[in-house]
């Protein structure tokens, strides 16, 4: 028996529930596919627009979550975050809705965010902007590209994309530039401060210095945005007014703007526009590194590749930390492998320069003090879990953070060339004990040297001692292959 296309279509059209469909057959028996269409997505929006509160969430969750469990359906929706398919199409890079898939992707991605916000306490969900976007897309069909019209949110995305392409000196068509200029002016008319900033600094407009500065200052006066502060800083920097540039970079750094932070650190290093201070440079870069590292471990948007590289570069310049520089470059290489950046060549060269500062080992077993691993898993103040399983010469223990929302752990062993994000730390300890407590929760530890000169690591929860461990542990790289 197989599930027919018509039955799948009933589910996609919400005439039957996922439970009713699944009772027809098992998932592996599904032989036919029903491609989700833009009409289906529009119907979701139509139904959601008539609902509010919990009803909206239940309806959407059932449709999106269960639809991805069905062979065929999971391959055709192509929405982010939920799909099991590894062969997903990609939306158009410029942010515009060029085809049905772009429209579907746009809608479902934003519904994901809406419902995430709903879970955090919003009472209602307004899908009107999404309906408007789809209506505009359908109205654009058959029109020249330069006449396309979209809601301001989509215009804004397109303007930012073209601006970034122009700054990287990528080739743009006359049609792209014409639409870019039109959207910038339309957004400015609506009071969009980002568009004001972009008109001031974009090479597409190529304004004279006086007009450029006026646009940037107007945008900054309106919203005080850190991105605009950076643009103003670069404007004055290029005009050799380093004191003003320093003040705007300082403003951006105060709001954790990454590029402002980098420029500010460089100015402290050289004494340009301010007094020379290697200590200020180091503090600023370390703060940026720690911030971006945390975001990287939490899978948030981040600039960790650049932060780790700059940290390594600063340490390499210091005679005190040449080996630690290699450590940071390894992190930059690992992060860069997740999403290629223009730092690839620089990182490769840096690794070659600094590798000789760390004695390389070829074995897969890394011996360290237990407390070194405890420091890693406890970083951030999380309550952690300890589990133990008997082995031939001792125990295999697992350390993990208890919270499901906790960031992953970035483990790096420079002497073994190992760097990886992990959910748990697996260790091997030698012990004569027949068993160890397992499912232990802990949030602190101490090292006790009082027993026969042999150090012991003691796990604590609050102030209660729970468990003693040997001083040494082994980490086997093969456990992570």
**CATH code, domain carrying 289:** 1.25.40.10
Cβ count near 45 (within 10 Å)? 16
Considering the domain architecture, whether residues 463 and 422 belong to the same structural domain is answered as yes
Which of the two residues, 13 and 232, has the higher pLDDT score?
A: 232
pLDDT at residue 76 tops 50:
no
Q: Is residue 307 part of a domain?
A: no
CA dihedral 388, 390, 395, 397 (to 10 degrees): -20
- In total, how many domains does the chain have? 3
Residue where one domain finishes, among candidates 273, 301, 329: 301
Residue 354 lies in a domain: no
Specify if 162 maps to a domain. yes
My answer on whether 202 and 281 are in the same domain is: yes
Q: Which of 76, 103, 73, 70 is nearest to 88 (CA)?
A: 76
88 and 202 share one domain: no
**Assigned domain for 41 exists:** yes
**Where does 224-339 have alpha helices with state H?**
226-238, 242-254, 258-270, 278-297, 304-317, 322-338
**Mean pLDDT on 7-21:** 59
Concatenated DSSP letters for 6-17?
A: HHHHHHHTTSS-
Q: Which of 272, 301, 330 is the last residue of a domain?
A: 301
* Region 216-234 average pLDDT: 95
Identify which has the larger pLDDT, 378 or 73: 378
Residues 185 and 126 in one domain: no
pTM of the model: 0.76
- Name the DSSP class of 255: T
* Residues 384, 450 within the same domain: yes
Give pLDDT, residue 71. Answer: 41
Is 455 part of a structural domain of the chain? yes
Percent of the chain with pLDDT over 70: 80
Question: What pLDDT does residue 60 have?
Answer: 63
Domain shared by 117 and 258, yes or no: no
DSSP H helical ranges for 120-143: 128-140
Pick the residue with more confidence: 184 or 357? 184
Quick: pLDDT tens for 350-369: 999 998 888 888 889 999 99
Residue 347 lies in a domain: no
Whether residues 127 and 175 fall in one domain: no
Q: Which domain holds residue 187?
A: 146-301
In a domain, 314, yes or no: no
Residue for token digits 């009803």? 55
Q: What percent of the chain has pLDDT over 90?
A: 57
Please tell me what DSSP assigns to residue 342.
T
Which pLDDT tens digit goes with each residue over 374-420? 999 998 889 999 999 999 889 999 999 988 788 999 999 998 999 99
pLDDT band at 111 (very low <50, low <70, confident <90, very high): confident
126 located within any domain: yes
Same domain, 228 and 254: yes
> Strand, coil or helix: what is 440?
strand
| 137 lies in the same domain as 245 | no
Same domain for 389 and 273? no
> Same domain, yes or no, for 211 and 137?
no
Report for 27-36, 107-116, 461-470: range of highest mean pLDDT: 461-470
Q: Mean pLDDT, to the nearest integer, of 290-309?
A: 91
Q: Are residues 96 and 215 in the same domain?
A: no
Mean pLDDT score across all residues of the chain: 84
Most confident of 92-106, 179-193, 321-335, 389-403: 179-193
Instruction: Tell me the pLDDT band of 53, cut-offs 50, 70 and 90.
Output: low
Domain boundary residue, one of 281, 301, 321: 301
Q: What is the residue whose two structure tokens read 């031939």? A: 392
């Amino acid at each position: 028996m197989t599930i027919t296309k018509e039955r799948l279509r009933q589910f996609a059209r919400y005439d039957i529930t996922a439970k009713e469909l699944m009772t027809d057959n098992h998932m592996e028996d599904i032989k036919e596919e029903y491609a989700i269409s833009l009409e289906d997505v529009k119907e979701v929006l139509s139904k959601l627009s008539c609902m509010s509160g919990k009803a909206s969430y239940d309806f959407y969750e059932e449709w999106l979550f269960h639809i991805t469990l069905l062979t065929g359906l999971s391959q055709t929706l192509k929405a982010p975050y939920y799909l099991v398919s590894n062969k997903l199409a990609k939306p158009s890079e410029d942010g515009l809705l060029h085809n049905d898939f772009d429209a579907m992707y746009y809608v479902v991605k934003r519904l994901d965010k809406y419902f995430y916000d709903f879970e955090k306490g919003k009472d209602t969900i307004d899908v009107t902007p999404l309906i408007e976007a789809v209506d505009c897309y359908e109205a654009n069909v058959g029109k020249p590209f330069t006449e396309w019209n979209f809601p301001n949110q989509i215009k804004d995305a397109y303007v930012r994309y073209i601006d970034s392409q122009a700054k990287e000196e990528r080739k743009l068509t006359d049609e792209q530039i014409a639409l870019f200029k039109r959207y910038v002016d339309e957004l400015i008319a609506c009071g969009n401060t980002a568009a004001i900033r972009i008109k001031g600094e974009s090479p597409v407009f190529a304004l004279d210095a006086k007009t450029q500065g006026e646009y940037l200052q107007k945008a900054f006066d309106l919203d005080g945005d850190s991105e605009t502060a950076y643009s103003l800083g670069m404007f004055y920097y290029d005009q050799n007014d380093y004191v003003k540039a320093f003040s705007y970079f300082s403003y951006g750094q105060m709001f954790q703007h990454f590029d402002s932070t980098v420029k500010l650190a460089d100015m402290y290093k050289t004494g340009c526009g301010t007094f020379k201070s290697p200590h200020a440079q180091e503090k600023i870069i370390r703060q940026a590194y720690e911030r971006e590292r945390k975001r990287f471990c939490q899978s948030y948007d981040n600039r960790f590749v650049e932060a780790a590289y700059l940290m390594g570069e600063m340490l390499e310049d210091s005679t005190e930390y040449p080996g630690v520089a290699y450590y940071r470059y390894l992190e930059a290489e690992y992060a860069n492998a997740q999403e290629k950046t223009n730092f690839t060549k620089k990182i490769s060269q840096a690794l070659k320069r600094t590798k000789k500062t760390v004695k390389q080992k070829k074995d897969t077993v890394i011996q360290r003090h237990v407390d070194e691993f405890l420091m890693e898993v406890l970083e951030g103040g999380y309550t952690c879990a300890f589990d133990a399983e008997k082995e031939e010469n001792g125990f295999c223990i697992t350390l993990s953070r208890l919270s499901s929302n906790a960031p992953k752990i970035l483990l790096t062993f420079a002497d073994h060339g190992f760097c990886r994000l992990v959910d748990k730390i697996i260790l091997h300890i030698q012990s004569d004990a027949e068993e160890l407590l397992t499912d232990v929760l802990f949030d602190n530890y101490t090292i006790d040297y009082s027993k026969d000169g042999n150090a012991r690591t003691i796990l604590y929860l609050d102030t209660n001692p729970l468990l003693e461990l040997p001083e040494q542990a082994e980490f086997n790289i093969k456990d992570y292959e």
